[in-house]
Amino acid sequence: MSESSTPYRVLARKYRPQKFSELIGQDAMVTTLGNAIRRDRLAHAFLLTGVRGVGKTSTARLIAKALNCVGPDGQGGPTIAPCGQCEPCLAIAEGRHIDVVEMDAASHTGVDDIREIIEAVRYAAVSARYKVYIIDEVHMLSKNAFNALLKTLEEPPAHVKFLFATTEVNKVPVTVLSRCQRFDLRRIPAETLQAHFAGVVEAEGVAAEPEALALIARAAEGSARDGLSILDQAIAHAGLADGEGVTAAQVRDMLGLSDRGAIRRLFGHLLEGDAPAVLAAVQQQHDLGVDPSALFRGLLETAHGVTRAKAGGAEDPALSTEEREAYAEWAGRLGYATLHRLWQLLLKGHGEVQTAALPREAAEMALLRIVHASQMPDPGELIRRLQSGEPMPAAPASPPPSPVAPAEEQAPLLALPTDFPAMIDLLDTNGKKLLSQQLHDYVGLVRYAPPELVIRPQKPMSGDFTRDLAVALKMITGAQWEVSIGDGPAEPSLLDQQKAAEIAARDAILASPVVKAAFEAFPEAELIDYSRPEARSATS
């Protein structure tokens, strides 16, 4: 048959593993199976679980081959390295062996389908050593079907092996799990996938940039099948005209990924707090057809890459030299707190963009929120300043009132309180009772020079306390107050001063000759109430 008449086979099928040595990323499972076969300690039922495309069904077929291989001379036994040449190996690879039955549980969910298997297991294999039943997506069987299978699964005939594959092992009943030997197939590392794809393109005679293969491996998310499907599409997308191969730029364009350089520039604008540049970058990406969600994914990957670089993590092979240098530079000057806060803001923005009715507008608003946050001091820095008594950073100055604003919209300018107690009374009479109580009970005065006020709290206060106090005083007096926390000598709070005055007055009364004589005459007497001389003169 000529090459042109040969039907094309997609890469995911063409490069499906035919030997355990070709099964990538599952070395632990292969070792376990090899030991079990060599020692003749094979379980009667296997459960293979893992995400899509990691090789569950391929592994099941390989196990069927390993159990039934007879070798090129027809005299071999079970082996971890099936020959691939004998009739059982060839028939199983082509899906035509009469004793290896594959069933898709997604379309055969009922108890009647399982009853057929239960009836058939009683009969010996026609030509193979073992009769093998491969049930894919076994979690989709009905509850009754699982129950019907239990007895046969626990005590099958010696010539029968069950191989189950599932992506959702949590949906398989515990009674079934307890009767199977379970293998959890791992996600295939991106580096392993990249090396595998390099071998595939070499076998196909196609040139491909290493960065392009790294991008495909990352997009595959640990699935060899997904990665081969993307690679198939990338080869078709490239066209391969004039000796060209698969390039990273073509893969990014095909997958709808934003240009990495543009993402880095946007990330830099966010850190600089440059709002016009951020909006211009978003507009540019929108014009290029980049989805806002892809834009945020790129920014999240950048934030993650910078944090990994700062933590000393292994370098991502998919990163270009420029990206590594940029990540290292940002990692050197950004703190962990800043990076974690940036990650949370980007993650929140990504969620908003995905659910917004206007994705582009939502992306702009989320990025502007990050720009605003970049101009705010770090929470840790604020706590440090509060604890050390350093002045807080001033809020951005408010614009002056419009000259055409009505008079009633402008704050009236009142005479400033003469002292700290008068200021507290002014707050109380103007409805700011919580602030006045906090100042009266828990705050010591360091300096009062209106409109400047320096205080020292005696207990932890809200982080917005000084700002709220300044705003309240401005609303009441019309003046721009500067309220800060100092660490110099502070007076006791007004509450403590009142308590000290009461104790002093009581001690003075107890020390008077008349009261001392009364206590000597009546030792069990108590001083229940008293009034100071100035109080009596005021009421007389």
Report which residue type is found at 62.
L
Distance separating alpha carbons of residues 111 and 142, to the nearest angstrom = 7
For residue 342, count other CB atoms closer than 10 A to its CB: 23
- 349, 297 in Cβ contact below 8 A? no
Whether residue 126 is predicted with pLDDT greater than 50 in this model: the reply is yes
- 33, 80 in Cβ contact below 8 A? yes
pLDDT value of position 401: 43
Distance separating alpha carbons of residues 481 and 477, to the nearest angstrom = 9
- 492, 456 in Cβ contact below 8 A? no
Q: Which CATH architecture has domain 411-491?
A: 2-Layer Sandwich (3.30)
Whether residue 412 is predicted with pLDDT greater than 70 in this model: the reply is no
- Range with lowest mean pLDDT among 147-156, 231-240, 249-258: 249-258
- 442, 434 in Cβ contact below 8 A? no
455: its two tokens: 């205080």
Which 8-state DSSP code applies to residue 157?
A: -
Residues β-bridged to residue 447: 454
Dihedral sign (CA 195, 196, 202, 205): negative
Distance separating alpha carbons of residues 133 and 151, to the nearest angstrom = 16
Whether residue 2 is predicted with pLDDT greater than 70 in this model: the reply is no
Extents of the domains making up the chain: 3-184, 190-255, 261-374, 411-491, 495-539
151: its two tokens: 């007895």
Mean pLDDT over each residue of the chain, to the nearest integer: 82
Q: How far is CA 327 from CA 44, 257, 267, in A?
A: 52, 19, 11
pLDDT value of position 271: 87
Write the DSSP assignment of 462-502 as a string of letters. -TTHHHHHHHHHHHHH-S--EEEE--S--PPPHHHHHHHHH
Q: How far is CA 376 from CA 128, 294, 345, 395, in A?
A: 73, 27, 14, 9
CB neighbour list of residue 419: distance below 8 Å, 6 or more residues apart: 448
pLDDT value of position 375: 61
Whether residue 318 is predicted with pLDDT greater than 80 in this model: the reply is no
Q: pLDDT, tens digit, for every residue of 348-368?
A: 999 999 888 888 999 999 999
Distance separating alpha carbons of residues 406 and 167, to the nearest angstrom = 69
Q: Which CATH architecture has domain 261-374?
A: Up-down Bundle (1.20)
CB neighbour list of residue 426: distance below 8 Å, 6 or more residues apart: 417, 476, 477
- 300, 339 in Cβ contact below 8 A? no
- 88, 68 in Cβ contact below 8 A? yes
Q: Which helix (H) or strand (E) holds 183?
A: strand 181-184
Residues β-bridged to residue 165: 48, 136
pLDDT value of position 317: 62
Whether residue 315 is predicted with pLDDT greater than 80 in this model: the reply is no
pLDDT value of position 300: 92
pLDDT value of position 366: 92
Distance separating alpha carbons of residues 185 and 176, to the nearest angstrom = 18
**CATH code linked to domain 190-255:** 1.10.8.60
Q: How many CA atoms lie within 13 A of 119 on its CB side?
A: 6
Distance separating alpha carbons of residues 109 and 89, to the nearest angstrom = 29
Which 8-state DSSP code applies to residue 35?
A: H
Distance separating alpha carbons of residues 122 and 160, to the nearest angstrom = 9
% of the chain exceeding 70 in pLDDT: 85
Residue among 367, 360, 339, 361 at smallest CA distance from 269: 367
Distance separating alpha carbons of residues 81 and 501, to the nearest angstrom = 95
Report which residue type is found at 118.
I
Q: pLDDT, tens digit, for every residue of 472-510?
A: 888 888 888 888 888 778 888 888 888 888 888 887 777
- pLDDT band at residue 538, thresholds of 50, 70 and 90? very low
pLDDT value of position 279: 92
Report which residue type is found at 3.
E
Which fold does the domain 3-184 belong to in CATH? Rossmann fold (3.40.50)
Distance separating alpha carbons of residues 485 and 469, to the nearest angstrom = 12
In this structure, what are the phi and psi dihedrals at residue 260, rounded to the nearest 5 degrees?
-65, -35
